Amino acid sequence: MSAEIRFPDRARHALLGALMLGLASQPAQGATSTIGRTWPIAEPDAMSEIEARVANAPDMAAKFGPRANWSALKAASLGPAPADRTRSIIPFYTVDEEIRLTDGRVLYPRGFTFNPLDYVSLPQRLVIVHPRDLSWALKAARFTDFILLTAGDALELSERTGRPLFILEERVKERLGLTVAPVIVAQEGNKLVLREYAPERPAHRSAWP
């Protein structure tokens, strides 16, 4: 039979503070102690699970052919920018069906047109380039910017550069009225500003194919 020892609140706080100070003062390589009962970790290691799933994943290339031929990875094409140019657009959006409140009243009728940038802001820019200008994009892009490619294998180039890269989708091209690249798209107020850049000198171009 064991007796339960109770400490006043002030004493418990003092003991807890002393314990924290004692642990903090121990060197990193010091011995450790176990307080209370312990059990082995039953869950498998997360990284081991991921590696196992990747190892057992089906060979997509064998099933669908070379990745370069996958339609889902086909980027929208753009022409080269003939000269530096800046233009702006307002990305109006038209509601294709009416939007009602929970009580049935119509909030926005079908055909209502508005500018989304009046209500939201884009924290990042879009840097859209041909693969040959990728090195320029990597220097020009901020950490939060999205780099979109007009051709090439974005997955492979992401692995080679260590930076997430994406393909330019046809719907984005049409939505922004893109015709040439390189171009950087950024929000300024309630509009999008598109800055197009003439091709860089060969010395500044990327070596990527």
Are 150 and 129 within 8 A, CB to CB?
yes
Report the pLDDT value the prediction gives residue 191, as an integer from 0 to 100: 95
Report the C-alpha gap between 168 and 128 in whole angstroms: 7
Residues of the chain with pLDDT under 70: 1-45, 47, 51, 53-73, 200-209
| Per-domain residue ranges of the chain | 73-91+121-204
Angstrom distance (rounded) from CA 8 to CA 130:
71
Segment 107-138, tens digit of pLDDT = 889 999 999 999 888 889 999 999 999 999 99
The residue type of 161 is T
Q: What is the pLDDT of residue 199?
A: 72
Q: Which two tokens stand for residue 56?
A: 């057992």
Q: What is the pLDDT of residue 139?
A: 92
pLDDT value of position 124: 92
